[in-house]
Each structure stands twice: as C-alpha cells, then as structure tokens.
Structure 1
Amino acid sequence: MNLSVIIITKNEEELISDCIKSISFADEVIVIDSESTDKTVDIARKLGAQIVTKKFTNYADQRATALKHAKGKWLLYIDADERASEKLHEEIVEVVNRKPQTANGTDSIVAFRIPRQNYYLGKNKWPHIEYLERLFLKEKLVGWEGAVHEHAIYTGEVGTLQNPIIHYTHRNLELMTAKTNQWSEVEADMLLASQSVSGI
C-alpha cells in the first residue's frame, strides 16, 4: 500500500464528502474523528473511510494517532476544509510511486511541503500562498508537536511540491468567530499549564 490519507474531523458533515472525493487516488483514507455529533462519521464511512474515534486533546495528538493505524508507505495529511487539486493529485501519485532523491542522488527526501491556496468567506482568494509539510514517508515520521500550530517531527530531508491544496477557511463570520475562540481556549490552557510548571 503506497498512500494513506489522514483527515481530522469534528462535526464536518458539510465538508467531509468533497474532501474525501478529492483524494480518491489514496489507497486508504483514515478519519480521526473527535466525537462528532453530526453525520460526519456516517458520510465518511459510506465513502470508504476507516474511522478512528479519539476525544480531542490537541491537534498534534490527533495527527499522531494516525501513525498507529495507517498502513501506507506514505502519509498525506489533509483537513476537512481542504481539497487536493487535480494537478496535486497527479504530482502526489508520481511521488509515492518513485523514490525521490536529493540533488546529489544519495539521501532520499522523506517529507514534502505543499503550497496551500486559501479562500475565505466563500470564494475570496487570499493573495498569500503558504507552504505546509503534509506528505511524509511513514517510517521517517516520528510524530507531531504543538497544540495549535502543530508541526511534524521527522528524520531526513524535505522537498517541495508545485501544485496546491485548496483551503476554504472561515466560510462565514460565525465559523470564523468559533474557530478563533477554539484556538484562544487551547492557547489559554497552554499558558496556564506553563505557569503551573514554572510555579507562577
């Protein structure tokens, strides 16, 4: 099995179908679901995804959970509000079916940054393209760290893909406020924990 795709969800019934359909090239789709109360799990299961239920602790823990379940040689992490573009689909298939190497032809590249094009409040295109490490050789991925803006820990070199993930962020003001509040709560918990450890 070459490619497992991991999606983290919590009440994503409006988004999960299009997300899974955009990564139909995967050999395996694993949904790490944070106890959704809507139809997210039912929709994902009907589309062939494997469901792993895990109470939400932080984003790094949710992503790391997939390492215990994924069978693919390569792991692609994508969120429910993201879509793999058709050209990215083709590029990823090419990558996972060969052994990429560095310029000197020796050490293998074990992770790839993928450009992400953001759209906010519907179809408003954000001018800035960000690059996120999302595709990993499983045997080189050690884990994830960071409660909010999590990042991967891996051993080896990183490459960069050319074609984007499409991200539909903050689809309306209500969702934008809810997401901001969620991040604020997590960061507040982190601050309290650090003060407790330091004895403040």
Structure 2
Amino acid sequence: MAEMHTPKQKLSALIITYNEIGYIERCIESISFADEIIVVDSYSTDGTYEFLSKQPNVKVIQNPFANFTAQKSYALEQAANDWVLFVDADEVVTPNLETEIVSTINDPKACEAYWFYRTFMFQNQRLNFSGWQTDKNHRLFKKSKVKFTDAKLVHETLEVDGNSCILKEKLTHYCYKDFEDYKSKMLHYGRLKAKEAFYKEKRFNYFLLVFKPLWKFLYQFVLRLGFLDGKKGITVCYLNALSTLERYRELKRLEKKNELAYYLVMP
C-alpha cells in the first residue's frame, strides 16, 4: 500500500507600506520563501511602489490608508492561502525563523495563530531594553480563523478562533531609522490613539496631558531599564512619551472641533 503524504502547506506573506524604500528591499528578500508575497501600498512617494512593481515575485496593490486595522484587513482579504505571514516593511525574517515558520505550518498539530517576539534595532544597533523586552505580535496565522478587530486604529488586535502559541525565533525589527522618521511615526500613532479615545467618548483633561507622558518616559526609562540602552534609550523613551503627549493634544483638538461643529449647526 502506497504511503500517504500530507500536502505541503502554502504560505501568503503580506505587508502594508508607505514610503519604505531602503527597508522594504531587505524585507522582501527575507520572505522570498513564501508562495506569494502581497504588498498593499498607501500611495508611497519615495519610490517604494516603483521598486515593488519591478519585483517578479511580488503583487503590489495601492489602496488609500484609513487606519492600520482597515489596511491590514484589506491586505488579509487579498491572500490566496489560508496560512498567512504578516510582516512590517522594516522587519526581517531570519533564516532560523524561516525554518521554524515552514516547519510550523506543516505540523498537523499546529495552533491557529502564533505570536512572534522581536529583536529591536536602533539603526544598526540592538535595543535591549526601553520597554521592548516583552513586545510580541501575532504574525503567523490561519486566515480562516482570524479577523482584525475595529476596537483599535493602531497596534491593531487580532481575534483568533482557536489557540495561539509562540514561536521561539524572533523577528528582527529595524524600528529606528533616524530621529525625524521615528518622531513622525510616533506623532502619527499618537493622533490615531486620540481618534480611538474620541470615538470611545473619552474626555480630555489637563492632568492626563501632563501625567501620562511623564509616566510613559519614567516607566520605560527606569522601570523597563531604558537607561541601560544609554543614549539610544533616552531617545526612544522620549519619543514614545512624545507620542503619548500628542495623543492628549490631539484629543483636545478633536473635542474643540466637535464643539465648534455642534454650535454651527445649532438653530
């Protein structure tokens, strides 16, 4: 009697991008083992889209950016395979992680979703502390068993119908390119967080405007040992605190804008 073989599982690798030239190249190369690579680009202006369009193993689609949850949900819909690997454009899959991913999706006892821990890179130097030690994200999962929730606009949440496990190997995340790039990213995240709070009818107050950013810095720099990262730790903890400050400044702006709109429509 002929021996039965389980068909090899196929994998879709997904990325969302906006102005990632200089980082997307390394990311694409690291996920070339996937059966398909799909990139959803938010109309980049730095050559990212043009670069991706020339890659024979990449399908690139342009789609307007509303928020991270909506964009990732759109990207997920494009995947042809049930097993999906979601990476950021500034992340790299190491050879050891590639081996673990392939082995995992072909394991009959695999979980429905997997958390990845990440190694954070400050330019080309490793960031060991500053609050990132225990950071983990769902990156590998079965499309049929998950959905991104609408509860968050940034740092989106994945709902899993089944079990979540953790892979041993880590993703390499080049989170910090330069000061202005990281600052811009943190301010953007802060504004999206403000919109989340506004939609949930959370109110602005001056105490949180002052206390929350200060606590964010002290928590990451002192309690999460950011001082052990030296100047890198100071920079990252400061910019993360700036993101929190921007969240409350934006919430105040949204409330004022809403109040103005209310009085303008009053009879």
1:162 aligns with 2:168: yes
Question: Match for residue 115 of structure 2?
Answer: 113
Task: Pick one of 135, 139, 149 that aligns with 2:140.
Answer: 135
Would the aligned equivalents of 1:6 and 1:30 in 2 still touch at CA under 8 Å? yes
1:95 aligns with 2:104: yes
Deviations 1:58-88 (A, max 9, x none): 1111111122210112001100110001100
Deviations 1:148-174 (A, max 9, x none): 111111200011110010001122111
1:2 aligns with 2:2: no
Structure 2 segments unaligned to the other structure (5+ residues)? 1-8, 203-257, 260-267
Please tell me whether Structure 1 or Structure 2 has the larger radius of gyration of its CA atoms.
2
The one-letter amino acid paired with 1:33 is D
**CA distance 1:180–1:94, shift in 2 (3 Å):** same
- Give percent identity, aligned residues only: 31
Deviations 1:2-50 (A, max 9, x none): 1001101001111111100001110011101111112111212322211
Question: Match for residue 69 of structure 1?
Answer: 78
TM-score (norm 2): 0.67
**CA distance 1:70–1:162, shift in 2 (3 Å):** same
TM-score (norm 1): 0.88
Task: Pick one of 79, 85, 88 that aligns with 2:94.
Answer: 85
1:27 aligns with 2:27: no
1:192 aligns with 2:198: yes
Higher RCO (CA < 8 A, seq sep 6+): 1
Task: Pick one of 55, 58, 63 that aligns with 1:54.
Answer: 63
The CA distance in 2 between the partners of 1:6 and 1:55, in whole Å, is: 16
1:177 aligns with 2:183: yes
Would the aligned equivalents of 2:16 and 2:75 in 1 still touch at CA under 8 Å? no
Q: Secondary structure at the match of 2:21?
A: coil
State the 1:129 CA deviation.
4.4
Q: Secondary structure at the match of 1:195?
A: coil
The CA distance in 1 between the partners of 2:171 and 2:117, in whole Å, is: 6
The one-letter amino acid paired with 2:126 is N
Q: Displaced runs of 4+ in structure 1, greater than 6 A? A: none
Would the aligned equivalents of 1:63 and 1:144 in 2 still touch at CA under 8 Å? no
The CA distance in 1 between the partners of 2:51 and 2:21, in whole Å, is: 7
- Bigger fraction of residues in helix: 2
Would the aligned equivalents of 2:84 and 2:140 in 1 still touch at CA under 8 Å? yes
Would the aligned equivalents of 1:8 and 1:33 in 2 still touch at CA under 8 Å? yes
- Bigger fraction of residues in strand: 1
The CA distance in 2 between the partners of 1:96 and 1:194, in whole Å, is: 38
Question: Match for residue 158 of structure 2?
Answer: 152
